Structure formats: C-alpha cells, structure tokens
Homo-oligomer: A and B are copies of this chain.
Amino acid sequence: MTDTATVDTDVESVEEFRQRARTWIRANLAPADASSRPGPRADRTDEEELAEFARQRGLQRQLFDAGFAGIVVPEEYGGQGLTPAHAQAFNEEITGFDYPSMLQIPNFTPCMAVILAFGSHEQKLRHVPPILKGEHYWVQYLSEPGGGSDAAGAQTVATRDGDEWLLNGSKIWSSGAWRADYGLTLARTNVNVPKHRGLGVFLVPAHAPGIEMHRIEMLGGGSEFCQEFFVDVRIPESERLGDVDDGWTIGIRWLFFERSFALSPYIIRPGGGGDAFAPSEASLVRLARKSGQIDDPVARDQIGEVRADSLVAGFAQRRIAQGMRTGYLNDQGAALSRLLAGVNGTRSATVAFELAGQAGVAWDDEDDDIGQRGVSFLSRQAGQIGGGTTEMARNVISERVLGMPRERDNSRDMPWREVPKGPSSR
C-alpha cells in the first residue's frame, strides 16, 4: 500500500488508527449480512425502508461518538482531521461489518464534499456536523426533466427578492429525496448570460414550503428516485454557496465529486473496491448452483469473467486514485473510475441473468431470488446512466484526460434564453 507513504506524521499514525478502529469495530459492530447489498432495496416497503434508515442514522451517530465519522473532515466541523490513508485503513477494517450504507452517497459525497469545498465558515459550521452525526441527510437537486447530460443548462430559475431567492422549476433523479432533510440545489440566477455564467448553488430544506414531491416508479421496482416541483420556494441569501452567478465553478467540482464517488475519502467503502453496482461474485456461484448451471463450462466462464473484472477493478480504482494524487492523471481521471464502475455493473447484471436460466423470466415463489435477477437485468443500464452517463465519462476521458478536441456545444456562447432546446420544426 503506497498510500501509507503519504501519511502526515503530526497526526495519529495510520497503523495506530487502524488498531483503534479494529478494536472498536469488533467490539461495537455486527457482522454484515452476507446477502445484503449496499444502498436502498426495492423489495422493502417504505416503512421497512424508513426503519432501516433510522437504524443507520443511529449507527452513524455511534461512529461519530467513537471518533470515526468524517475521518478526513477538519476537526472544527466535527471530523477527525486525518488523511485518505486513514480512511482507506478504516475501509479495510470495516470490511465484513455492518455500516450505514444508506447514508454514504449522495450525502457525504457529492453533497457534504461540495459544502466543505465551497461553503463559508458559517455554512460549514451550520451544516457539516449534523451530517456527520446522522441528523441531516442530504440529496442532490441537480438533474432536470429534459436536461440530460447538460447540467449547466439548468432551467430551474432563482430570482432575487431582497435577502431571499425565489426558486421555480423542477428537479428530478433526486435519489432518496422522500426521506431526506436537505437538497443541494443548482439553479439559474441569470438568464441573460451564457449558461455557464448565470448559475447558483443553494442549500434547500428537502421539503421546504413550495416544494411538491413526486416519487418515480422504476421498472425494476422501487421508487427511490423523486421529482420535485418548485413554486416560489424561498431560500435566504445566506444559504447560497460561493459568488453570485458563479455557480458553475461549483458545478464542475460537484460533477467531479459525483463521477469519483468510488474514490472519495468521505465515504465508507468496505474493501475499498469500486464497482458498487456489481452483485458479489460469490452470489453468482450461489445463483448458478441453485439454477443448476454451476457445472456448465459456459456459465463458469462467465462467472470467472465477472470475478476477474471485479478483482481488476479494485486495483484499477486504487491506481486511478494514486494517479490523481501523484499527477500521473489530472482530476478528470475520475471519469475512468466512473466508466469502470458502470461497465462492470452492466456486465455482471447480464451474467447474473444468463445464470438464472428460464427461471429468470418466469418463476415460482421459491425461485424468487432467481427471478429477481431477471428483474434487475431489465434495468441493467441504470449503472451506466445514474451519476452521469458513461457517454459523458467517455467524453471527459477523451477530452480532459487525453486532450482531444472538445465536442461542439451550440449553447456555449449565446445567452441562455436563446439556446435551442428542441427541433424548431419537424
């Protein structure tokens, strides 16, 4: 682990910290449920989901009280003021144990990461500690209906009204917003300048007056994603980040945090691997055994392929992080991390469906675990769409990492209100 090379010697050493973490984890945390997968679960009712969410808030509070919350967050904001190497050690130690998986993304990153990067001292004092204590859960009010990959094209408008802003418009794909406390919100503060020069980022109570929320049913089941309609939502100027109209400076970083979630030192990531979307390979073996395909060499070949991809991904994610640290890659290298997670997730979902056999399309109750592989397969692309599409990641890699010519952006240099937003006539 070359990471240890970067330890700041003024603070508790990584090894001391690792020992302290190991001792505490084994004394206080239950072993992880082998069958459980990180994040929300489509097969839970809202009540079960909320109960589990509350339990995990408590778990986060335990971590906070024990001095393991916000490992790389400055102490003045409730964190531990340690290094990414410490966070990595913690990830390794907590592997196999219960942790607040539902509180990680987008709460700690991109949301808390953005606040820490661009918030004023007061804003950070106000918002970061409650996040680390599990009291406030943040989601992103970023994407918009019809917005696609062009985040800077946001059509939600913020109009200045004295010390306040009035927000009007609509946001979508806010994952978990229905159970959230705050929404990090990108809105247009000036429609008379090119799109990149008239944006602002606001700290918005998730259910502020004027926000109407609609939950989106996904084809794989579940309705974790939400759409919000803003009608004259009042936000004080003190809850806006950065300089007026300069929100895109924040937006660029925000999208970077989103792409590089798999590398973020702010989240707990057992094992430190990066392919959060992939079902564990061990579960593929169990699946193939139940579906009776484990002895079919074609099935074995596919399981081995997914296993190889997953082992490679762990080292690749570490190399990408190291490369960005050492300057071998610039910050945009994070797009490599996002692309890797996306393609691996799709491939493993496809293999899982292959292994499911006929029970993957029509099944009895006792085969429900197999049938769910068919259901998941229907939304196998989700991991290449959510968190920025893999198409955008490939643009970023070729243009920002390899330095190839940028794609033409017809909306770049004209006042936002004049940008073509659809076919003039067909």
Contacts and interface: CB of A to CB of B under 8 A. Distances in A.
6 contacts: A296-B297, A297-B297, A297-B298, A298-B298, A298-B301, A408-B408
Contacts of A408: 408
Interface in A284-327: 296-298, 301
- The quantity of this chain's copies bound in the complex is 2
A380 to B, nearest CB: 21
Contacts of A296: 297
Interface residues of A, number: 5
A411 to B, nearest CB: 16
Interface in A188-238: none
A298 B408 CA distance: 45
Nearest to A299: B297
Nearest to A302: B298
A362 to B, nearest CB: 24
The 6 A-B pairs of least Cβ separation, nearest first, read A297-B297, A298-B301, A297-B298, A298-B298, A296-B297, A408-B408
Nearest to A408: B408
A246 to B, nearest CB: 32
A30 B108 CA distance: 77
A301 B298 CA distance: 8
Contacts of A301: 298
A412 B296 CA distance: 56
Contacts of A298: 297-298, 301
A296 B296 CA distance: 10
A301 B297 CA distance: 10
A409 to B, nearest CB: 14
Contacts of A297: 296-298
Residue among A296, A297, A408 with the most chain B CB within 10 A? A297
A403 to B, nearest CB: 11
Nearest to A297: B297
A16 B296 CA distance: 53
A30 to B, nearest CB: 42
Interface string A407-420: 01000000000000
A297 B302 CA distance: 13
